[in-house]
Structure 1
Amino acid sequence: MKKTITIIGSGFSSLAASCYLAKEGFDVTILEKNNTVGGRARQFVKDGFTFDIGPTWYWMPDVFEKFFADFSKHPSDYYHLDKLNPAYEVYFDTLDSIQIADNLPDILSVFEKEEVGSAKHLETFLDNAKHNYDVAIKDLVYRPGISITELITPVTMKKANQFFSTIRTSVRKKIKNNRLQQIMEFPVLFLGAKPSNTPSFYSFMNYADFGLGTWHPKGGMYEVVKAMYILAFELGVKIKTNQNVEKINVENGVVKSVISNGITIESDVVLSGADYHHTETLLDEKYRGYSEKYWNSKVFAPSSLLFYVAFDKKIENVSHHTLFFDTDFDLHAKDIYDNPKWPDKPLFYASFPSKTDSSVAPEDKEAGIFLIPIAPGIKDTTAIREIYFDNIIKRFEKLTNQKVSENIIFKESFCVKDFVNDYNSYKGNAYGLANILTQTAFLRPKIISKKVKNLFFTGQLTVPGPGVPPSIISGKIVSNLIKKQFSNKQ
């Protein structure tokens, strides 16, 4: 008889795991709290406008290709990809921006124009970054984070110093131009930590940026969710929405069932892709692997204040992805990590997918997504949201030299309270634990429950870490562990 597996949540990690487990012959059911699948990567559609609620960046295309290849599929079987050129644009002052091209020669040219000699330094930096990428993404990142020995290989021993130096140190060693420094430090923000706290080994994010480029799935990132949903369905996964899991039942240290919407669902294995902290609150206290003190001591990635804005005209002087670095990043970072509070002068990011994808907005109109990184757990009110929207729109108008506030058809916001309500997110964080040295690999919350047999975890709070590609990889890691445990029991 097939072993039954209940998966809590339907984000990227859960969908990936469900596909691998169904392929191995398990009877898999996903229980999703919300009314659509995708977890944090849901979609908001209104009046002909389409917005990705969560992730908007498609990086590391090789990870997606590898996932679908495991099922003899290809991303193009499900969605169309365009490589963005420019990949993104960074504003520093009024009509003063740097565009990052879709190829290295042009990027080197931009760097050299900003700082003589920097192109050579960037090439050397990226050679090392590519090597780190090959080591990390093709090997280390697929390890389950059970023991420190996973990180000890002949290659990593040679690179040991890169785990104790930081991205900021390695970037600023040769390149002195502040604008270029900020561009090179930007990719590690996807890891949820300051460049000054992120090991230099994570320079592989720079290779993901400059070497592999930035892509866009036509229709938005939710097309990837739909692709994985279709694949899971084809493999026999049962997916149920509007299912609020209220309890995980354990008997004699072994998981037995979950209670969802008041109904008990028996299961041989429970796998949670939901928030790790929240999942443990569904257990009796004696079965929780981590205390409240533990969670409170961890460094979390930022939360976000997001706005989804429909404009009645095309927006000028911006790219599909546009970053606004017209204020001091270090001051903003202190307001996130060191003294958590609403930032006085926040940096922000804007995405205008309708610049390259006509399917996400009506003709001659624009869909805009604005994001301010903020500290998790801070006070979130409608009034505060409005203050910050007014702040960034005024700056946006000045920096891009145009008026847009009178052209807003509608806007919706999403912030700390929504992350908590919709995803049971700890302190309303947006994407998990920061990838600092003391929270890397085997030092992250374990993928296998420390106290409950047949209870597993996946997603951005366990290995390998935050981001869409790591979440997909996390799904593969946990499915391999489950398969290994039950290989002789099917």
Structure 2
Amino acid sequence: MPPDTNLGSFLKKLRTPETRLNTRRAPVSPSPRAPHAVVIGAGFGGLAAAIRLLVRGYRVTVIDRLDQAGGRARVFRQDGFVFDAGPTLITAPFLFEELWTLAGRRMADDVTFVPIDPFYRIRFHDGSQFDYTGDRARMRSEIARFSPRDVEGWEKFLEHSERIYRVGFEELAHAPFSSPLDMARVVPDMVRLENWRTVIGLVSKYIEDEKMRQVFSFHPLLVGGNPYSTSSIYTLIAFLEREFGVWFAMGGTGEVVRGMVSLITELGGTVRLGAQVDEILVDDGRARGVRLRDGEVVRADVVVSNADSAWTYRHLVRPEHRRTWSDFRLDKLTRYSMSLFVWYFGTNKKYDDVAHHTIVLGPRYRELLEDIFDKKVLADDFSLYLHRPTCTDASMAPEGHDCFYVLSPVPHLESGIEWTPRKVEQYRRAIAQSLGESILPGLEEHVVSSRVLTPQGFLDDYLSVHGAAFGIEPVLHQSAYFRPHNESEDIRGLYLVGAGTHPGAGMPGVLSSARVLDTVVPDPERLDASVKRA
């Protein structure tokens, strides 16, 4: 049975004392004299921030350099296929529903979420498969097929995951980390919950079988982290999925983007596409607006950047205005996530036995992750995530066809790998051969539509430093207070949302980063009169 999606129960669980959230507020169009907020970037974080600021009474302009909203969640329409460019796993639908409620609307009128079962099908290199679901009895049975002795250990692991979730998500994901005291307050909980362990370290405490350790440790890769170096706080994802399920938006993730843009315009906001911000204007230590590439200046009382956080500081803010995120810190001291090679393809054949989400594990696990994250070399083997939305929604491909994308974690551009057309095609063919020999028989002869996204594309299209697919790597010393703050450390009136700030990547993370703004951005009427600009 799908999880309960009653909004009231979700909000009751998520509300924290620090969050100024009033779901009963009647949204109205902002006054023409209300303070103006400029949001840089129309990804999920930027769109969510715009909705929240509009509801609170700000005038809002969202500016994005691409020709469509969504950022990494944009859509490619090609040859009758609908390819979601990036995120497709919806694990916290209540965070979206909350935005519609704040705007006085019903999300169900614009977007339909349906549960995915199984959440993932994990295929091991020897051909054996594990169906990962939210059903406790089925999971016990699946684990028992591989390692009966680990069934009890998995139960204990899930209990530990829940304890981490109660603190890491319910209490901390929506709270700002603006001072060392904010960090100091959570240290006892982190010690008690063993967050000093890595993800694989905590999983291995409870689970012995190597295959089962892989099943319950891969989640950090979905947010740009290495299970062997990412803090065990990310094991909260296991309970998050167990509690609320994994969902898909009918029509694709692009339908969620479309719905959010509709909310913004109906609330009186503006979304400008095809306009690139070149500089965040700073005067006397305060953000005063942005300058576009064509020279136009857009004045603002508040600036919110949903651009890559490292790009924001390195390229949009002049060095004299920032001390904390200096060029040296960003270039020499900051670790960035891995990147991705993504192949979008459509086939004139349906592969009905392939699940919606499939994790195809290669012959190596730890060694491959070392190649990607540490050695930064392009290995001959790979592990893959295969997305088949037509398993759930046939409308995303022509009749009788299937729609896919497959992504392979690869090193970011600091590796020195040059993604030339020849290199791209070689790597694509290797992936196609691997899939054709395993779960998609005869693949190459059935491909009728194809496009790719490489680490260079993450830099060129999304301005992600080093082409890192998830921005700053989510290791412990780059988390919470040690991540770029939601409220800029150096510039008053500048705020950050998205994967590169707290709490991190993934749809729940970027939506939660926008929710933090309810705490750190003053209500319009509380802005100092000297700050306001008509």
Fold shared, TM-score > 0.5 on shorter chain: yes
Relative to structure 2, which stretch is displaced further, 279-288 or 358-367? 279-288
In the other structure, the counterpart of 1:466 is 505
State the shift of 1:286 in Å: 0.5
In the other structure, the counterpart of 1:325 is 361
In the other structure, the counterpart of 2:5 is none
Structure 2 alignment gaps of length 5 or more: 1-32, 530-534
Task: Judge conservation of contact 2:65–2:274 (CA < 8 Å) in 1.
Answer: yes
Structure 1 residue identity aligned to 2:480:
A
In the other structure, the counterpart of 2:258 is 226
1:482 and 2:511 matched:
no
State the shift of 1:401 in Å: 6.5
Task: Judge conservation of contact 2:97–2:107 (CA < 8 Å) in 1.
Answer: yes
Task: Judge conservation of contact 1:311–1:410 (CA < 8 Å) in 2.
Answer: yes
User: Of residues 378, 396, 402 in structure 2, which corresponds to 1:342?
Assistant: 378
1:274 and 2:310 matched:
no
Quickly say closer, same or farther: Cα 1:192–1:167, change in 2 above 3 A.
Answer: same
Q: SS of 2:216's equivalent?
A: helix
User: Of residues 258, 262, 278 in structure 2, which corresponds to 1:246?
Assistant: 278
Task: Judge conservation of contact 1:21–1:483 (CA < 8 Å) in 2.
Answer: no
Task: Judge conservation of contact 1:419–1:429 (CA < 8 Å) in 2.
Answer: yes
Task: Judge conservation of contact 1:166–1:200 (CA < 8 Å) in 2.
Answer: yes
Task: Judge conservation of contact 2:57–2:524 (CA < 8 Å) in 1.
Answer: no
1:452 and 2:491 matched:
yes
In the other structure, the counterpart of 1:374 is 410
What per-residue deviation string (whole Å, max 9, x for no partner) do you get for residues 30-84 of structure 1? 1110110111110001122001101121112333334434344443232111111
Structure 2 residue identity aligned to 1:349:
Y
1:142 and 2:140 matched:
no
State the shift of 1:152 in Å: 5.0
1:414 and 2:453 matched:
yes
Task: Judge conservation of contact 2:176–2:516 (CA < 8 Å) in 1.
Answer: yes
In the other structure, the counterpart of 1:287 is 321
Q: Distance in 2 between matches of 1:488 and 1:211?
A: 39
State the shift of 1:184 in Å: 0.1
Quickly say closer, same or farther: Cα 1:107–1:26, change in 2 above 3 A.
Answer: same
Q: Distance in 2 between matches of 1:460 and 1:183?
A: 24
In the other structure, the counterpart of 1:265 is 298
1:307 and 2:343 matched:
yes
Q: Distance in 1 between matches of 2:525 and 2:201?
A: 46
Structure 2 residue identity aligned to 1:210:
R
Task: Judge conservation of contact 2:164–2:193 (CA < 8 Å) in 1.
Answer: no
Task: Judge conservation of contact 2:156–2:206 (CA < 8 Å) in 1.
Answer: no
1:427 and 2:466 matched:
yes
What per-residue deviation string (whole Å, max 9, x for no partner) do you get for residues 407-455 of structure 1? 1102100111211111111011111222211011001012223332222
Q: How does 1:56-67 map to 2 (within 5 A)?
A: 56-67=88-99
State the shift of 1:341 in Å: 2.0
Q: SS of 1:40's equivalent?
A: helix
1:387 and 2:426 matched:
yes
Quickly say closer, same or farther: Cα 1:203–1:381, change in 2 above 3 A.
Answer: same
Q: SS of 1:173's equivalent?
A: helix
Q: Distance in 1 between matches of 2:287 and 2:327?
A: 22
Q: Distance in 2 between matches of 1:141 and 1:375?
A: 28
Q: Distance in 2 between matches of 1:450 and 1:158?
A: 24
Quickly say closer, same or farther: Cα 1:248–1:170, change in 2 above 3 A.
Answer: closer
Q: Distance in 1 between matches of 2:110 and 2:447?
A: 33
Quickly say closer, same or farther: Cα 1:47–1:436, change in 2 above 3 A.
Answer: same
Quickly say closer, same or farther: Cα 1:326–1:255, change in 2 above 3 A.
Answer: closer
Q: Distance in 1 between matches of 2:394 and 2:183?
A: 45
Relative to structure 2, which stretch is displaced further, 269-278 or 67-76? 67-76
Q: SS of 2:131's equivalent?
A: strand
Q: Distance in 2 between matches of 1:312 and 1:286?
A: 56
Q: Distance in 1 between matches of 2:144 and 2:95?
A: 31
In the other structure, the counterpart of 2:26 is none
Quickly say closer, same or farther: Cα 1:291–1:158, change in 2 above 3 A.
Answer: closer
Q: SS of 1:399's equivalent?
A: coil
Q: TM-score by structure 1 length?
A: 0.95
1:111 and 2:143 matched:
yes
Q: SS of 1:197's equivalent?
A: coil
Tell me the percent identity: 27
Aligned-pair RMSD on alpha carbons?
2.0
User: Of residues 245, 250, 260 in structure 2, which corresponds to 1:213?
Assistant: 245
State the shift of 1:25 in Å: 1.0
1:351 and 2:383 matched:
no
Aligned length: 490
State the shift of 1:223 in Å: 1.6
Quickly say closer, same or farther: Cα 1:156–1:359, change in 2 above 3 A.
Answer: farther
Task: Judge conservation of contact 1:332–1:344 (CA < 8 Å) in 2.
Answer: no
State the shift of 1:21 in Å: 0.7
Quickly say closer, same or farther: Cα 1:308–1:157, change in 2 above 3 A.
Answer: closer
Q: How does 1:4-15 map to 2 (within 5 A)?
A: 4-15=36-47
Structure 2 residue identity aligned to 1:264:
V
Quickly say closer, same or farther: Cα 1:215–1:110, change in 2 above 3 A.
Answer: same
Q: How does 1:118-137 map to 2 (within 5 A)?
A: 118-137=150-169
